A and B are shown apart, each in its own frame.
Chain A
Amino acid sequence: MTTHAKTPVDPAPSVPVGGAVGRPVDRRDGHAKVTGAARFSAEHHYPDLTYATMVHATIARGTITAIDTAAAVAVPGVVAVLTHLNAPRIRPVRKGNIVRDLGPSVSGTEVNYLNTDQVFWDGQPIAVVVAQTSVAANEAAPLVTVTYREQQARVDFAAEQHNATPAKGDLTFAGTKKKGDAEAALATAQVSVDLRYTTPGLQHNTIEPHATIAVWSGDHLTVHDTTQSTDASHKYLAWRFGVPAAQVRVRAEFVGGAFGGKFAVWPGTVIAAMAAKAVGRPVRLALSRKAVSRAAGGRTASTNRIALGATRDGRLTALIQDSITHVGSVGGLLEATSSPARHLYGAKNMLTRQNLVEMDLLPNTWLRAPGEAIGSFVLESAMDELAYELAMDPIDLRMRNEPATDPTSGKKFSQRMLREAFEAGAERFGWADRNPSPRSMRDGEWLVGMGAATAYHPVLRLVADVKVRLSNDGTALVQCGFHEMGMAAATVQAQIAADALGIAYEKVRVEYGDSDLPPGPMAGNSNQTATVATSVLAACAELTRKVTALARKTGTTGQEPAATLRAAHTPFLEASVGSTSRLGSLRSQGRFLATFLKDQRWSKAARGAQFCEVRVNADTGELRISRWLGMFDVGHIINPKTAASQLRGSIVMGIGMAMSEQTLVDPRNGRTMSAGLDSYYLPVHADIPPIDVAWLNEPDKSMPLGIIGLGEVGMTGVAAAIANAVYHATGRRIRDLPISLDKTL
């Protein structure tokens, strides 16, 4: 069944009991946001609050030999200037075991900020000014003068690529995957393409810049932070500052966008807590837009070889992808660019290889659909090129290579409706009207092109502790330290809990965004909705069993739960999944492993078909996107209103990646040149056409309520669909993102 995302706007939706799931209810925190009442991390007030501004290194690699803070200290209102010479000593970053404790894994870098004279990237914070006002701190920070002994730095990705070495990968993603002999099959293929694609670094540029307020009370630390991982973050800070985790509280009730950029603990958070300790007062460290680009990582650049071999009737015989991405010398992660190539098409022989080059740059990090955003551009552009070599419709080529089982692992798919997504999408978009010849469609001075691509993002489920309380006034309270960065996470969990308890949606309150709550998962890899739902459903089922037993005792069977509680003179009943006791933590690890292993039985993913129409001006090369359709296979939709916005926002981020966004690094010194919104171009309202999103709404039966996370899949395939449409419009292949004006002219 196709559900149209263009739901009629219902001004006052009345939610029947038992009918919350699947309903387009308004997001719960919306009113606070439209009236300006919502308080984000930098907006909490404390008496005696001080303000901090970081000083950033201006070399890419070397040693600080002298640092003169006298002029900064002399600025009226300055309370302290901390450098590696006088900052409090803290513990170094710990290497961790991802199953036992996510704490260490959220370390943005390995640097012991302000505890070392070593500089590892241009922009590394090397001092902090704390003042009575942010104006004074901002005035004083540039007055700190630093002398360095510089070392040769590796900052030019193009020049460093020859140093790349094969990546090891980890439990969830192998560095290299082989099936058969792909090079030999490519050499003998009837038809083949062998191509090179590049993508630049990207920045999250969430509208809210990173910010922290740190408050010490004795040896208890409270941090208001822009984070999408409160649990891991509070454990990380506890380790760094040498206090028990129970004494560190990380709060993040409102987060102004994250997209992976607020998963890791970046220097600002650590330095704010360090500064607060040093001055004995609360400290606010709110990064400027420029500081974010220097002290919070983004997406790596990439260079990719992709080669496809096929029979004349379009059966893939060889698929090779060799990618090079970079990490920092002090952190960073393997961007899994081969992920789509490993799981989308049934090629007989496959070789996918990830290569890494270490550079003296700010370590890279997760950015929406890490791996798949780049990988889908590479693979789906190459599939389009192969289709033209074969003189075959590009969607037809994809459908000819639909695998029966996962092409790499051989596992069964828990659900795979890519064919249905393309069929429904092609009809809705009007793909049949496309004249396949390049440069064949024209509207006056505009060359018109249509492109398509597959969207793909794997499913991950983590573990969440949840506590649910049902009170005799008919209300319920769900507590879980999950995160709300704009997705309507609390709204969706309230819908799920209401139906599971059989009470009205409006009666459910949800508490989240606080490490003092039962620990939730980090919000990333599109895991959060399904992860939290798993535990919310389990806790609600337990509560329902308790209510049913009580109803039998009190003779209130069939009445609403609150009536049973009242009849039994019970103010409330509670049920929990997980606990933070030592035993409870061990059990949580067990639950995580059990869920992980269970989910490993299948190949699970969110998928979709992206369609776009572009117009390229024949005279000026100006590229406009005129139409978009994303048709998704993303399981059962809990809230059509908020799900549609997630998908649509993802597509627009993909449009930005395709057309304008790029991190510009000065190849001489490693400095980020795109350090503001005047030099890093985000799509604006006037750039974006009407974007139609729709979904098949078929539940994935292996997932709770059939949920598949959809926060990232919308971004995948977007850049390829645009590049393919540009080829169709102009006859020109653009293999290097972004598709800027100089490339279409």
Chain B
Amino acid sequence: MRLNCTVNGEARQADDVWAGESLLYVLRERLGLPGSKNACEQGECGSCTVYMDGTPVCACLVAAGQAEGRDVVTVEGIADGPVQQAFLAAGAVQCGFCTPGLVVAVHDLLARDSAPTDPEIREALAGNLCRCTGYEKILDAVRLAVQR
């Protein structure tokens, strides 16, 4: 099938898409956007989090066909702003494999709630696994992004 969707503000098209492909596969393998990471393929780790019509989703759990006509924003399409800068300054980045998904998740959290409490942050990010940082600095990054 042919897939039409908007990705990071641009109209994109992919041909010969197999119905069983995931949106993550389309982004990484067909559209040259490997920023969203392929880490579990079962919606457990959050590393592939992208926006679809403004809602954060695990791109690995979205069938390519479901993205038809939708508006997708990946980590590459989020303006390099306070969230990314806060991750850097707070030391919330280590190996970097979970980071793109977390950047999208935090971006979404702060869009919904400009002053989340600590428990709200922990809950909001509980679907994004990180094996390196110990999470504390990610919390610091969110607080810092709020200040900015």
Q: List the B side residues contacting A392 at CB < 8 Å.
A: none
Number of contacts between A and B (CB, 8 Å)? 184
Indicate if the CB atoms of A677 and B136 lie closer than 8 Å.
no
- Asked whether, in the complex, the Cβ of A207 is within 8 Å of the Cβ of B100, the reply is no
Which one of B18, B36, B136 has the greatest number of beta carbons of chain A within 10 Å? B136
Contact A677 B42 (CB under 8 A): yes
CB distance from B97 to the nearest CB of A (A): 3
| Chain B 121-136 near chain A by CB (<8 Å), digits 1 or 0 | 1110111111111111
A9–B135 CB distance below 8 A: no
Residue A589 at the chain B interface, CB threshold 8 Å:
no
B130 and A651 contact, CB distance less than 8 A: no
Which of A33, A45, A134, A687 contacts B99, CB < 8 Å? A33
Smallest beta-carbon distance A636→chain B, Å: 19
Q: Which of B38, B45, B96, B138 contacts A254 (CB 8 A)?
A: B96
Q: Contacts of B29 on A, CB cut-off 8 Å?
A: 133-134
**A645-B94, A649-B94 given; A257·B132 CB < 8 A:** yes
Known: A205-B131, A648-B137, A685-B126. A36 touches B44 (CB 8 A): no
For window 89-146 of B, CB contacts with A under 8 Å fall at: 89-91, 93-100, 103, 121-123, 125-140, 144
Chain B interface: which size bin? 35 or more
Given the contacts A34-B84, A35-B80, A208-B37, A644 and B96 also touching, CB distance less than 8 Å:
no
A401 lies within 8 A of chain B by Cβ: no
Given contacts A34-B103, A39-B34, A685-B128, contact A135 B94 (CB under 8 A): no
Which of A23-31, A352-360, A472-480, A507-515 participates in binding chain B? Answer: A23-31
Q: Does the CB pair B84–A40 fall under 8 Å? A: no
Q: How far is the CB of B133 from chain A (nearest CB, A)?
A: 5
B75 at the interface (CB under 8 A from A): yes
Give chain A's interface secondary structure class.
loop
Distance in angstroms between the alpha carbons of A204 and B131 in the assembled complex:
9
B96 touches A645 (CB 8 A): no
One digit per residue, 1 when the CB lies within 8 angstroms of any chain B CB and 0 when it does not, for chain A 278-294 equals 00000000101100000
In the complex, residue of chain B having the shortest beta-carbon distance to the beta carbon of A26: B88
| A206, A207, A286: residue with the most chain B Cβ atoms closer than 10 Å | A207
- B90 and A682 within 8 A (CB): no
Question: Is A245 in the interface zone, CB < 8 Å from B?
Answer: no
Contact B20 A649 (CB under 8 A): no
The verdict on A257 contacting B89 (CB below 8 Å), with A35-B76, A648-B136 known, is no
Q: Does B14 contact A (CB under 8 A)?
A: no
Kindly provide the distance from the CB of A140 to the nearest chain B CB, expressed in whole angstroms. Answer: 13
Which of chain B's residues have a CB closer than 8 A to the CB of A32? 96
Instruction: Pick the residue among B28, B91, B95 that contacts A207 (CB under 8 A).
Output: B95
Given contacts A35-B35, A649-B94, A685-B122, contact A676 B40 (CB under 8 A): yes
With A27-B88, A36-B35, A684-B127 already in contact, 7 other A-B pairs whose C-beta atoms are closer than 8 Å: A11-B89, A32-B96, A35-B75, A135-B21, A259-B131, A650-B134, A676-B44
Chain A interface residues (CB < 8 Å from chain B)? 9-11, 24, 26-27, 29-40, 42-43, 45, 133-135, 204-209, 254-259, 286, 288-289, 485-488, 641-642, 644-645, 647-653, 676-678, 682-688, 690-691
